[in-house]
């Protein structure tokens, strides 16, 4: 049997510890499947005294992950430190420069400089794996890079953040407000003490930027991403959405706009993360709790959906080890499906070019003429009203009014909302959620 693939694990948090545990527990199975062992030989973390539920005595310990990355006794480095800068970035670059294969779960780093890292890896003749960076245990990277490689991808979208999906699911099923459910999510460990990256959509946007590069053969362009979070979604919105036959989900959507063009032409790509209303009977609406779901639309394969746990030690470690297995087997597939040197710059399509339907909730004073003022603003921007719901009456007080718009342009829609927000009879800014026909 060939020599073992010797692995160094940088970072011993939830994912790092689970990776070490998986490789130890499944060592005979992995050796059989790879025709060579995969063996952890070194680990790096800041705190040696912290309990991790695994025996670390067999492994060389490094306080400095960069030193681990340069160790001549390591063939492949697993970076699960996290963060777009600092030790994680230094470790990844040091590993590649030292001629080591690299497996990373670091979506923030990939969103920032994934194209450059892939080019460096190719120049050094080492392999880069990042299955664990997107959607946890769902093998969506391998699916896009290999299983669907024969297809021209038109769109990839999905639920990419389990924290947000848990919060939105709980709000819908319990009728509780956002802040209350967020506090519970933090107590349960589903949300960080500072949940901003999750609830403001940044984490999902990092992941989407990686998927878009894989799907369309483009350089990662996180700066072109439109990002909105879920802070403004209320229990009232869920009640109206249910009445209208919708579910509310935070989706990441990347799509090719217009003709695909010929070889060498810059594709026009829209990338956006924001709350969406989706039909209650659509497959993506059924993805609840902490689960993730990703949908890929290919020209020959049609629509494919992938669902599973998007985070957690076990699922993410499974994805990390999947990349190590490929390295042990000698599988050499370009990290972004095509050679990194051939990734092209996309032409970004801004959110204001979107055309679609919209849900709008207003809190307006219950006075004569209010609706006329609102509809005048819509009329002037050529926004057509499909339906309106007003249930409560409270003369002189603010009451909710919900409107559903026919398909219209984003730019005109936002101009209308800005004008409506200035009306003296509108008690708070309009709450707008895009309706996606997926």
Residues serving a catalytic function are 207
- All residues at 6 or more sequence positions from 350 whose CB lies less than 8 Å from its CB, including other chains: 226, 270
Q: Return the structure tokens found at 19.
A: 């990776």
User: In the numeric block, which tokens belong to residue 214?
Assistant: 């894989």
- ∠ CA 285-306-322 to the nearest 5 degrees? 145
What are residue 326's phi and psi, to 5 degrees? -60, -40
* SS3 letters across 160-187: CCHHHHHHHHHHHHHCCCHHHHHHHHHH
Could you tell me how many residues make up the chain?
A: 438
Q: Are 436 and 252 in contact (CB under 8 A)?
A: no
SS3 27: helix
Extract long-range pairs of 331-336: CB within 8 Å, 24+ residues apart.
Answer: 332/127, 333/145, 333/146, 334/118, 334/122, 334/145, 335/118, 335/121, 335/127, 335/128, 335/129, 335/130, 335/145, 336/114, 336/115, 336/118, 336/145, 336/213, 336/214, 336/217
- Nearest by Cα to 233 from 313, 172, 303: 172
Farthest-apart Cα atoms in the chain, separation: 84
Work out the number of other CB atoms within 10 angstroms of the CB of residue 397: 13
């Amino acid at each position: 049997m060939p020599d073992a693939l010797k692995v160094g694990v940088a970072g011993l948090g939830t994912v790092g510890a689970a990776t070490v545990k998986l490789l130890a527990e499944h060592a005979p199975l992995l050796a059989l499947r790879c025709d060579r062992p995969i063996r952890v030989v070194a680990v790096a973390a800041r705190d040696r005294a912290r309990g991790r539920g695994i025996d670390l005595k067999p492994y060389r310990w490094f306080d400095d992950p960069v030193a681990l990355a340069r160790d001549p006794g390591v063939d492949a480095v697993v970076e699960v430190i996290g963060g777009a800068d600092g030790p994680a970035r230094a470790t990844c670059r040091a590993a590649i420069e030292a001629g080591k294969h690299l497996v990373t779960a670091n979506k923030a780093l990939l969103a920032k400089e994934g194209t450059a890292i892939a080019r460096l890896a190719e120049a050094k003749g080492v392999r880069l794996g990042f299955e664990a960076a997107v959607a946890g245990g769902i093998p969506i990277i391998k699916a896009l890079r290999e299983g669907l490689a024969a297809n021209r991808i038109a769109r990839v979208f999905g639920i990419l953040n389990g924290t947000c999906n848990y919060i939105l699911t709980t709000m819908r099923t319990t009728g509780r407000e956002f802040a209350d459910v967020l506090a519970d999510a933090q107590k349960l460990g589903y949300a960080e003490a500072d949940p901003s990256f999750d609830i403001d959509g940044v984490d999902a946007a990092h992941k989407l930027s990686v998927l878009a590069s894989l799907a369309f053969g483009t350089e990662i362009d996180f700066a072109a991403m439109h990002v909105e979070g879920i802070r403004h979604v209320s229990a009232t919105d869920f009640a109206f959405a249910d009445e209208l036959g919708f579910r509310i989900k935070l989706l990441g959507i990347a799509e090719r706009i217009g003709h695909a063009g010929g070889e060498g032409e810059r594709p026009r790509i829209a990338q956006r993360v924001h709350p969406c209303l989706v039909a209650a009977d659509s497959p993506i609406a059924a993805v609840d709790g902490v689960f993730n779901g990703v949908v890929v639309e290919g020209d020959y394969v049609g629509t494919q959906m992938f669902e599973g746990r998007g985070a957690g030690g076990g699922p993410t470690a499974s994805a990390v080890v999947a990349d190590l297995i490929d390295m042990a087997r000698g599988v050499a597939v370009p990290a972004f499906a095509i050679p990194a040197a051939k990734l092209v710059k996309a032409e970004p399509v801004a959110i204001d070019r979107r055309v679609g339907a919209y849900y709008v909730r207003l809190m307006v004073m219950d006075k004569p003429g209010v609706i006329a003022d609102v509809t005048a603003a819509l009329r002037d921007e050529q926004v057509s009203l499909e339906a309106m719901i007003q249930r409560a009456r409270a003369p002189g007080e603010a009451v909710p009014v919900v409107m559903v718009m026919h398909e219209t342009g984003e730019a005109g829609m936002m101009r209308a909302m800005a004008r409506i927000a200035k009306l003296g009879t509108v008690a708070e800014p309009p709450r707008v959620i895009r309706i996606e026909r997926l």
